[in-house]
């Protein structure tokens, strides 16, 4: 018996309860990592660290030393400044995430962060170009 392989649908709208907008799942492919540039922090936990270490094939100690800093007693990824642009340490020159398959939970959840829950479409779209009206 042949089984059809489940493939993600292109241009599928993702809706999350409690949010006033949807997210176009293919938007990241054409975006220049707008969410990974500028001020902000990517906080990581032990599970994120473990996933990133496995993906990068380095020890936890190496990872923490090379890629993190402490912000209010929490670990966060460091930023780089390239061409006067502050960006995530894992953003490459083509504006693609080098660790996308192992990216932290905070990155996976964007643009559905609790801090964005009461935003309208126009306000959320300023932070994420994949935000659309449902």
Beta strand ranges found along 8-126 (DSSP E): 13-15, 22-24, 68-71, 74-77, 79-82, 85-88
Q: What pLDDT sits at residue 46?
A: 97
Give dist(CA 88, CA 95) in Å, integer: 10
- Span 76-98, pLDDT tens digits: 999 999 889 999 999 999 999 99
Confidence of residue 9 (pLDDT cuts 50, 70, 90): low
The DSSP output letter for 39 is S
Cα–Cα nearest to 31, from 108, 114, 128: 128
Task: Identify any residues that bridge with 74 across adjacent strands, giving them in sequence order.
Answer: 71
Predicted confidence (pLDDT) at residue 1 exceeds the cutoff of 70: no
| Mean pLDDT of all residues in 17-37 | 90
What are the pLDDT digits (tens) for 49-71? 999 999 999 999 999 999 999 99
């Amino acid at each position: 018996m042949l089984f059809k392989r489940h493939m993600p649908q292109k241009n599928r709208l993702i809706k999350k309860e409690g949010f006033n907008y949807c997210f176009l799942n293919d938007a990241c492919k054409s975006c220049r990592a707008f969410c990974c540039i500028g001020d902000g922090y990517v906080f990581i936990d032990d599970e994120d660290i473990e996933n990133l270490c496995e993906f990068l094939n380095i020890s936890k100690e190496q990872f923490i030393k090379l890629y993190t800093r402490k912000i209010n007693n929490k670990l966060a990824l460091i930023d780089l400044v390239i061409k006067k642009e502050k960006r995530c340490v894992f953003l490459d020159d083509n504006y693609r995430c080098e660790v996308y398959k192992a990216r932290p939970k905070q990155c996976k959840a964007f643009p559905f962060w609790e801090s964005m829950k009461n935003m309208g479409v126009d306000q959320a779209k300023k932070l994420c170009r994949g935000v659309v009206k449902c």
